[in-house]
Structures are given as structure tokens and as C-alpha cells.
A = this chain, B = another copy of it.
């Protein structure tokens, strides 16, 4: 052991450390949850730690055991005897792409496992803790559960509802405009807000926009301003299959999904060109020759998208909001007054204040010279 040892005063501080480590799995472990694990000796000393790697590679528990070995701990040896694993999500008990973590923890000779929260995956859902208890380990669940759920809010959403957690990003002035009447919007917010926006893109399994924004802004929809190991899926809502073949969204490597409301065969040459450009075309028709947005979310859920990041215009924003499909608003608000211009979302007109969309503020931070406001649907 080269480094000077780290000691934890109590379970809470060990779990906090595991949660901080779990953030290292953002932009890496999707569609698997972000999990951190620390293994702590009876005297409070940190023996090993780690977080989930890319899908198919090691989970947090195995990374922590390997780290302990690398630091000189003898598995099944003196240090491990009586040790506790703090893990931010219940260890898996099933054989997926990797062997179950429960068996690794049992095999290492640990005495106790503390999990922040039960795994919502129906293949786990308490069976992991039961397996550990059956093997004679002390177990407990619930320490910093809210923080652990928040870190994997998309994974919990997908496991519990089949749908991704939908976060809608909007950059606006304080009078609620996203562009001038002439469409100019570059840049309402500053460079730190744009980088922060990419940090939220990085959390997402997919970034979604509409054909209107594709035409007006020709976005790339990738993660550029912050480092990432994974690039999210890029998704376009394009009812009539009008995405230009030279759209920038087709340029970066990786998969692009284009959801349309028509049979791509009716546009065979264009469809073929889009496919050649790397796009997968998916017909999910809803009412009025539009794409069925709820159907898109279900489809993205089956594709393993935990968090879905929306960057669209007022029309698509309005449709998603009217249908109640948005779980979080992420608003970068510049200290500017734009006067007449494009609105955040096409909604209403409403006749009474009882009809309007009510949310609750989650938090507010300064990002450079702009404010970042987050809101979630009000449930009452």
C-alpha cells in the first residue's frame, strides 16, 4: 500500500465516498447504473474502492475488490475479515454480461454489506441482499437512498416504468425568450452555461431534437465541451422524413435514430440515403400524421436509454410538455431582456391560472453569468 491510508469515521462518510466515486461512471456505464463501492476494514481503513465500468466490463464491487488486492489486501485474509462493503446500489445476484457481484463479495470473505438503495431491476429487487444474508453476511439497505436514486434517476425510471427520465434543456432570457423574432439565438447564454449543458448531455443515453431545430440550427447533438467515454444516441423527431442527408447530426460517429410517422418505403431513395449516412429509421405514427412521442419514449426505453436529453424548439417542447412526458426542466437563464421573440414552449392559451403547467423548483445556481434553474413536475 503506497498511499497513506484513508479512514472513515462512520458508515455515512464511507457511503458518501462511494457516491462520489459512482459519479465516475457517468458517461461510461450506460445502460448500466452508476455504482460506487468502497471496502472498509473493521478499524475504518479504506481497503479498496471502484465504480462501474463500461457495459460488459467489471461492476463497482469487483473493481473495489481488485483495488484492494492491488493495494496488497489478501482476499479471504486478515484485512478482509470483518470488513464492510459500502455499495450505492444493491449488488446484483443474476448472471448478466458479468458474473453476479454477490458471489464476489461472499467469496472475498466480507462480513457486512451496506447498500444505499435496493436495485429496481426486477432481476435483482432484493434478491441480492437476500443472497448475501443467506451466506451469513450482515446486510442493510437505505443509507443515503435519495442521493443514490438521484444519481441513477434514469435507470430507476426505465426499470420502474419502461421509460427514460426526460430532461428538457432550454436556454432563455429572463423574459422567457429563446431567440429574437428573426430567429437569432447565438448566443443568449454564455460559454460556461453551454459547457454545463454538455455535462448534462453527457449524463444522457440519448439526445433528442425535432426537424425544426435540425433545419434552423443544424446541431451535432454530441458531447464536445466536456470529456466523455460514451457518446449518447442522437435522436430526431421527423414526422415526414425530411432530415437533410447533409445534416450535421449524421456526421459524428455512432448511431442516429430518426423517428417518422410515414412508411420510409414511400420515400425510398431519401430513406436509403439517410440509412447510408448511418441513420436508423423507425416509423411510430400517432395522431394527425405526427410521430407518437410516448411511443418514442417507450422505444428508447427498450433500447436502454436511462436519461433522455431534449434540446428542441417551442413546438416539440410544447408537444412533449402537453403530453406530460417531461420529468425535468433544465433552464439556463441569461440576465437579458429580449423583448418579442421565440417562446420556450408552445402551450395554451389558457383561460385560468388553474390550467397552467405547475412545476416545483429543484435548484438554482450561477453558471458563469447565467442562472441554471431546474424544475420538476409538481405532484399534489
Interface residues of A (CB under 8 A from B): 172-177, 180-182, 184-188, 321, 329, 331, 333, 335-341, 343-353, 356-361, 364, 366, 369-371, 373, 375, 378
Contact = CB atoms under 8 A, between A and B. Distances in A.
Nearest to A343: B175
Given A335-B361, A337-B321, A352 B181 contact: no
Nearest to A178: B175
A166 to B, nearest CB: 15
Nearest to A321: B337
Q: How many identical subunits does the complex contain? A: 2
Contacts of A346: 339
A173 to B, nearest CB: 7
A328 B364 CA distance: 20
Contacts of A360: 335, 369
Given A349-B180, A359-B336, A366-B361, A373 B375 contact: no
Contact of A174 (B180, B349, B375): B375
B347 A339 contact: yes
Contacts of A371: 361, 364, 373
9 contacts: A175-B345, A180-B350, A180-B353, A184-B352, A335-B359, A336-B357, A338-B350, A339-B347, A340-B348
**A340, A356, A373 — which one has the most chain B CB atoms within 10 A of its CB?**
A356
Contact of A176 (B174, B373, B378): B174
A173 B345 CA distance: 13
Given A339-B348, A345-B337, A175 B174 contact: no
